[in-house]
Amino acid sequence: MSEKQSRRPYVLTIDEDFPLVVCLCGSTRFSEAFRKANLQETLAGHIVLSIGCDFKSDEALGLTEVDKARLDALHLRKIELADEILVLNVGDYIGASTANEILCARLLGIPIRWLEPHQCKIQECPCGEGACKD
């Protein structure tokens, strides 16, 4: 038994009423979409995993490339924990990090929902429907 497991005083039994875990994915430029989706999903009874930082640009936060890579990797772990992802594709915008998150979900067999209808624009796309734009 790992140290982490030994700190748990009980065993959780998951039944069919266990809440759905949803991970929000999208560009942090859409901070209002993140706030609204977080509230809507929470009110729907879902556990919400989201970005864990202020809605400022990387530069405004003083993040280094190492910091950004670490945060991206952390978000991929959140996707692994999720039952599904909700892509906040405002204006059908899909940036490089979001495309990578979509690919991660697809490779793990995690269902993908879209905030807005998604129309692929190019041949290869992590969404599996054709292509996402940069």
Q: What is the largest CA-CA distance in the chain?
A: 51
Q: Is residue 40 part of a domain?
A: yes
Closest CA to 71 of 56, 85, 86: 56
66 within a domain of the structure (yes/no): yes
Mean pLDDT of each 10-residue bin along the chain, 134 residues long: 53 70 94 95 97 65 85 96 97 90 94 89 57 42
Residue 68's pLDDT is: 86
Whether 45 maps to a domain, the answer reads yes
CATH number at residue 98: 3.40.50.450
User: 119-125: long-range contacts at Cβ-Cβ below 8 A with a sequence spacing of 24 or more?
Assistant: 119/92, 125/99
> Looking at residue 17, what is its pLDDT?
76
Q: How many domains does the chain have?
A: 1
Say if strands 112-114 and 84-87 run parallel, antiparallel, or are unpaired: parallel
**pLDDT value at position 63?**
81
Q: Is the pTM of this model over 0.85?
A: no
